[in-house]
Structure 1
Amino acid sequence: MRTGAPGIPAIALVSLHPSGIVREKAVSWIAATPVPELMPFLVLRTTDWARQVSDPARAAFALLLHANPTSLLPASVGMALRLEDRSRSSFARSQLRVALSEAPVRLGAHLLNSPDRPGRLVPLLRDESATVIREATGVLLPAARSLPLDLPCGLLIEGDRPVVRAAGYRLLRRHDRTVWLRAAEILARDDPWPKLAARGAADLRSAYRPR
């Protein structure tokens, strides 16, 4: 194998090589060529069964996200979510949470312009991190009406944490008045967390207050 790094498409293909030695070399090239197009392949290698590949891939992934989250994190989210059920995938997701909490505004601006933002962000609405849930919700708000209605309803009714139920309510408030007020009624009547119940009740009072 030649010592100079090939082009981006070749590096991506080399990272899928059956030889661990070759995949390890591809990781070193990706680390030296931190472009968005190669981040999904780096995420994939963080789950590699060979430690000689996964260890440097994880180190590179963490360092690159910290150095340039605005450019590299949006390119990494899709692959990290697709690998959710793969063993050893928790590292990449934990790094996403850290990067998101450190640069939420810049990340939100980039994800907002992503053509597949709902597919990337919907799984984050049930993330372990409250910061991730709030940021993902904020980015999805402008597109709330295009989401399947059962998604925010499920968050509101079945969410096991207040932050998840609050995310569902924020999205439902962007729908028409009938949907919003029905959501407010559910929140005011049924939510076990006093602050959320109070929010629903306050919205109902405001909606029905004489003008």
Structure 2
Amino acid sequence: MIAALLAVGSAGDLDDSLEALRVLTGRPALLLRLDAFIRREPWYSTRPAPSLTEADPVALVLAASHADGRIRERVVRRMLHQPHPEMMPFLVLRTSDWVRQVREPACAALAVLLHENPLLATPATVRTALLTNRRQRGAFAHGQLLVPLLAESGTALSGRLLTAPDPVVRRFVLDTTAHRLRFRDLVALAESDPGRQVRARAAEAAARQAVWTDQVEPLRRLARSRHAEVRITALTGLMRTGSPQNVVPYLDDPSALIRALAREAARRTGTDPLVHYRAAVQAAEPRAGAVGGLAETGSRADGPLLTALLDNPAPQVRVHALRALRSLDVVPVPRVTVLLRDGSTAVVKEASATLAPNATQLPADLLWDMLTDPRRPAVRRAGYRLLTRHDHLTALRAALVVSGDTHPRLAARGKTDATTQIRNLVPHPWRTRPVPSLGASPAQAAELLALAEQRCTELTEGVIQLLRDALRPVSGSR
């Protein structure tokens, strides 16, 4: 990388040099690693420094990481008179330099440059300052960036940084200037920012302003957001403004936290949440949130209502019905067993999780048939999950079968499980737990060895030999 940068700089094109620096500073974490690497690299740190009166920007910033502190000090002073925005992250690095004669001029240069032109605080500069703030002497740049952001003229800078691609930069700016941003700008950020934490912080600031000024309509607008972290903040604001009736309609929200808040609002308005949920799950098109709400407020007596939802055409409703039956401990094993071959992968996964405590009650032939399903990895994965709940012999056999699966993740899981189980069969003096007994008959032992030898490309020869040794008394092999 260093050679490529030097090649760009030696070409003598200023625009190309600055573009190379923009690409590099676009990844500040890489910039910090490069800085440390250059100091340790003998090839670069022992080479003569470039003539700083004629050095291009690339050569200048690389010299700012030179092992010789006197060279770094000269570069810092030169940066003060050549304030390209692309070079500011490198100046920020030097504000945390371990040499006082380098650090102090760098801090002074950063303060002067940001005072003269606050827009030099580019997103890369801010991100680098946030990273160096973790260092022992790295707090100066972080504190210095607060000055232009909090200044009366900092609106343009904060607006520019709030569009930065890095969510960490947007969070920093929002945390610093939220009290000064316009309400509509906060709402726009809460509704459209791609970063979850940025949306949550913007929604919190907007809701706080709305509560202070007793504005219900903006909160209702935020409560319609598709993002749960925005909805919960807006609904909490509605509760604080004394408008619980606006929160009750969210009893069926997909978010469990929002449903809990809506139930509190329902109690304040005299609505019985349990009655609502029992009626909601019997609707022509029940919502998944209503099924979750019934699981949170219902009892075992609601088992028939939830079992009826297992025939619902919507996969998400079936998934939530399975979770509800599991949480209320009213699992109809025969009915849920049918869903192990459901057309939805999510339903198959949830059905296997629901039946896991009752795995030994399921027909073994069904599970082995699922383990060899030719078309659907989800069915094979569900069968394997349930077979591992059986005895050690069944679990090991299933792991050996799965280790040769065509699905890479399932095969890797089978390989890991088989290796672990085989190694656990070997007694060791430092193990306090007893060695598990497979209880295999001679025919079963021969089958296990045959399966293991078929998996010689997946399992190591040492692991297969451990299995031979563990099964020798049973199989009679030598």
> What TM-score do you get using the length of structure 1 for normalisation?
0.69
Give the partner amino acid of 1:141: L
CA contact (8 A) 2:85 2:121 kept: yes
Instruction: Call closer, same or farther: CA 1:59–1:52 in 2, change over 3 Å.
Output: same
Asked whether the equivalents of residues 94 and 102 of structure 2 are also in contact (C-alpha less than 8 Å), the reply is: yes
Q: Quick check: 1:69 aligned with 2:118?
A: yes
Question: Partners in 2 of 1:187 and 1:94 — Cα distance?
Answer: 32
Aligned to 2:147: 98
Greater displacement, 24-33 / 137-146: 137-146
Q: Which residue of 2 aligns with 1:86?
A: 135
Deviation at 1:82, TM superposition (A): 1.7
Query: Cα gap change, 1:183/1:142 in structure 2, threshold over 3 Å: closer, same or farther?
Result: closer
The partner residue of 1:35 within 84, 89, 108 is 84
Q: Is the contact made by 1:64 and 1:72 (CA closer than 8 Å) also made in structure 2? A: no
SS of residue in 1 equivalent to 2:72: helix
Q: Name the aligned partner's letter for residue 195 of structure 2.
A: L
Distance 1:152 1:75, change over 3 A: closer
Equivalent of 1:141 in 170, 189, 199: 189
| The one of 205, 217, 220 aligned to 1:166 | 205
CA apart distance, 1:25: 0.7
Counterpart pick for 2:73 among 21, 24, 27: 24
Task: Report how far residue 182 of structure 1 moved.
Answer: 3.4
- Alpha-carbon contact 2:76-2:102 (below 8 Å) kept: yes
Query: What root-mean-square deviation, in Å, do the aligned CA atoms of Structure 1 and Structure 2 show?
Result: 3.8
Structure 2 partner of 1:56: 105
Cα pair 1:169 1:183 within 8 Å, conserved? no
Residue 108 of structure 1: how far off its partner (Å): 2.8
SS of the counterpart of 2:80?
A: helix
Q: In 2, distance between residues paired with 1:70 and 1:7?
A: 22
Structure 2 Cα separation of the partners of residues 61 and 175 of structure 1? 44
Deviation at 1:184, TM superposition (A): 2.2
CA distance in 2 between counterparts of 1:100 and 1:167 reads 19
Q: What is the distance in 2 between the residues matched to 1:30 and 1:74? A: 19
Q: Which amino acid aligns with 1:166?
A: A
Residue 122 of structure 1 deviates from its aligned partner by: 2.0
Equivalent residues of 2:91, 2:106 under 8 A apart: yes
Aligned partners of 1:40 and 1:75 also within 8 Å: yes
Distance 1:108 1:66 in 2: 15
1:107 is aligned to 2:141:
no
Letter in 2 for 1:182: I
Quickly say closer, same or farther: Cα 1:118–1:32, change in 2 above 3 A. same
Q: Unpaired runs of 5+ in structure 2?
A: 1-48, 210-220, 250-478
The CA deviation string for residues 103-146 of structure 1, in whole angstroms up to 9 with x for no partner, is 322213432453x24232224445xx5x36755x9588177442
Q: Is the 8 A contact 1:5 1:29 kept in 2?
A: no
Larger Rg: 2
Please state how far the C-alpha of 1:186 moved relative to its aligned partner.
2.0
Alpha-carbon contact 1:30-1:42 (below 8 Å) kept: yes
The SS at the match of 1:146 is coil
Q: What are structure 1's unaligned runs of at least 5 residues?
A: 157-163, 190-196
Higher relative contact order structure (alpha carbons within 8 Å, sequence separation ≥ 6): 1
1:184 corresponds to 2:250:
no
Question: Shift of residue 173 of structure 1?
Answer: 3.0
Number of matched pairs: 184
